[in-house]
Amino acid sequence: MNERKYFGTDGIRGRVGEEPISPETVLKLGWAAGRVLGKGAGSKVLIGKDTRVSGYLLESALEAGLAAAGMNISLIGPMPTPGIAYLTRTSRAVAGIVISASHNPFHDNGIKFFSQEGVKLPDQVELDIERKMAEPIKVVGSAELGKATRFSDAAGRYIEFCKSVVSRAVSLKGIKVVIDCANGAAYHIAPSVFSELGADVIATADKPDGFNINQECGSTDLRNLTRVVIETGADLGLALDGDGDRVIMIDAEGQPVDGDQILHILAIARKRKGQLSGGVVGTLMSNLGLERAFEVEGIPFQRAKVGDRYVLNLLKQNHWILGGESSGHIICLDQSTTGDGIIAALQVLQAMVDQQMSLHEIKQGMHIYPQTLVNVRLPSDGATRTFDLDKCKSVKDAVDRAQTELGKEGRILLRPSGTEPVIRVMVEGKDKHQVSRISQDLASEVRAAST
């Protein structure tokens, strides 16, 4: 496959004002996407965003480019990424566009696309858009220019959809839930969903100001959520990320329940009901304990490359319905077309109610192997695209020595991030001290080799 200039594993992402997240490039992106994805004059595209202040700027640039290509635009405003996927599919739009950098800080932003089926675009279509961006903009005739309108009741429609995934026989009455909205796109969605289903909801990080998205909150910083869960005596907490497509949970004892544990809970619940339909897809980062737990249960398990698009592709190849990532991206294809933090959390709560167990109790079927992830930051000049780990002998030799030391009960994974200039060094095994030491040693090897 040809090297992609702009698109990474999850759309286009970077610091606002720097390429490719500049007004000029995003304007060109909107035009190119309109030309590639359009189905004739007047085709409709949805644009949604998270709560970053830069969303206004990028929304306007995309809108102008799409209109120049003859596309009509429906503006949604702040909305979780999976909500935009759902609305794209149900409103018969030709595409949906999300302006978000997910769990990144406010000074970053990104653009990702959904097809008319509500799934991420194939690699080839992203390549087609990039090729079109190399051409000069040609504006359609004045009579064919696109128009922009506001999408009415987008929030209400998505809230009702989320509620529909829980059986009508299930009530969340009597369950106290703390929801960390990450000051992001789900701030006006998630609390309503859970409270309307009967839960006693305490919302936190639900007052976005354009700058506080993911700031000491959300799925990448559980400290405040853990504190609130314990102080209020809540049954559980859930932490979304900035665009609402991932979730990490906290049990009543203040212990985290990550994406691997959520996958295990959902797989066992579906197996009990005869609804699993095959196996489960994880990623190269999925904990070895998840694989071992599924072996005990006789549930097939396969690993995809990191990125929910690759999890989805493998699910479709296998005709399976359940997959996800340790970071909390959980895909339930019997409910949604993409990872959805709210829906994943609702499925866990339904399993808890069905089995009359607390979150702490229901997570016990999986033992997590100690795992350490070290991010080795490289210069932000495309270094991760040119630094070839496979061709670096010193790093490869160090990995071979470490894997021999860990044996069959350990794993090592080194990979470049698809969204930032970072090499991720992951080590897991039975002994946490050994795992920590090896990960630091390997990170030092990578750091030395990349300078």
Q: What is the pLDDT of residues 42-95, one digit of tens each?
A: 799 999 999 999 999 999 999 999 999 999 999 999 999 999 999 999 999 999
Q: Specify the pLDDT at position 40.
A: 73
Q: Is the peptide bond before 20 cis (omega within 30 degrees of 0)?
A: yes
216: phi then psi, degrees, rounded to nearest 5: 55, 40
User: Do residue 443 and residue 315 come from a single domain?
Assistant: no
User: Do residue 383 and residue 415 come from a single domain?
Assistant: yes
Each residue's pLDDT tens digit, 219-269 = 999 999 999 999 999 999 999 999 999 999 999 999 999 999 999 999 999
User: Do residue 110 and residue 241 come from a single domain?
Assistant: no
Lowest mean pLDDT, pick from 29-38, 163-172, 344-353: 163-172
In a domain, 2, yes or no: no
Confidence class of residue 416 from pLDDT cuts 50, 70 and 90? confident
Each residue's pLDDT tens digit, 161-180 = 999 999 988 999 999 999 99
Q: Specify the pLDDT at position 384.
A: 47
User: Do residue 269 and residue 248 come from a single domain?
Assistant: no
Confidence class of residue 379 from pLDDT cuts 50, 70 and 90? low
In a domain, 245, yes or no: yes
Cα gap 94→88, rounded to integer Å = 7
User: Which of 138, 196, 156 is closest to 172 using CA atoms?
Assistant: 196
Q: How far is CA 247 from the centre of its chain?
A: 9
For the segment 330-351, the average pLDDT, to the nearest whole number, is 96
The per-residue pLDDT of the chain, averaged, comes to: 94
Q: Say if residues 53 and 210 touch (Cβ distance below 8 Å).
A: yes
Q: Catalytic residue, from 43, 54, 100, 102: name it.
A: 102
CATH number of the domain encompassing residue 398: 3.30.310.50
Joined tokens for residue 18: 């720097």
For the segment 302-328, the average pLDDT, to the nearest whole number, is 94
Confidence class of residue 431 from pLDDT cuts 50, 70 and 90? very high
Pick from 101, 117, 151: which residue ends a domain?
151
In a domain, 4, yes or no: no
User: Do residue 231 and residue 242 come from a single domain?
Assistant: yes
- The answer on pLDDT for 150 being more than 50 is yes
Half-sphere exposure of 348 (CA within 13 A, CB side): 36
Q: Specify the pLDDT at position 380.
A: 59
In a domain, 1, yes or no: no
Pick from 362, 396, 412: which residue ends a domain?
362
Confidence class of residue 421 from pLDDT cuts 50, 70 and 90? confident
Q: Bigger pLDDT: 381 or 406?
A: 406
Confidence class of residue 387 from pLDDT cuts 50, 70 and 90? low
Residue length of the chain? 451
User: Do residue 329 and residue 314 come from a single domain?
Assistant: yes
User: Do residue 276 and residue 319 come from a single domain?
Assistant: yes
The pTM for the full model equals 0.90
Cα gap 186→243, rounded to integer Å = 7
CATH number of the domain encompassing residue 224: 3.40.120.10
- The answer on pLDDT for 184 being more than 80 is yes
* Sign of the dihedral through C-alpha 225, 254, 349, 373: positive
Per the structure, the count of domains in the chain is 4
Question: Pairing relation of β-strands 236-240 and 247-251?
Answer: antiparallel
In a domain, 23, yes or no: yes
Each residue's pLDDT tens digit, 326-338 = 999 999 999 999 9
Q: Specify the pLDDT at position 419.
A: 67
In a domain, 145, yes or no: yes
Known catalytic residue: 102?
yes
In a domain, 107, yes or no: yes
User: Do residue 242 and residue 280 come from a single domain?
Assistant: no
User: Do residue 201 and residue 101 come from a single domain?
Assistant: no
Question: Which residue has tokens 């007052």?
Answer: 207
- The answer on pLDDT for 6 being more than 70 is yes
Pick from 256, 275, 297: which residue ends a domain?
256
Which residue range(s) make up the domain with 266? Answer: 258-340+348-362
User: Do residue 123 and residue 252 come from a single domain?
Assistant: no
In a domain, 163, yes or no: no
User: Do residue 31 and residue 122 come from a single domain?
Assistant: yes
Q: Specify the pLDDT at position 348.
A: 98
User: Do residue 202 and residue 266 come from a single domain?
Assistant: no
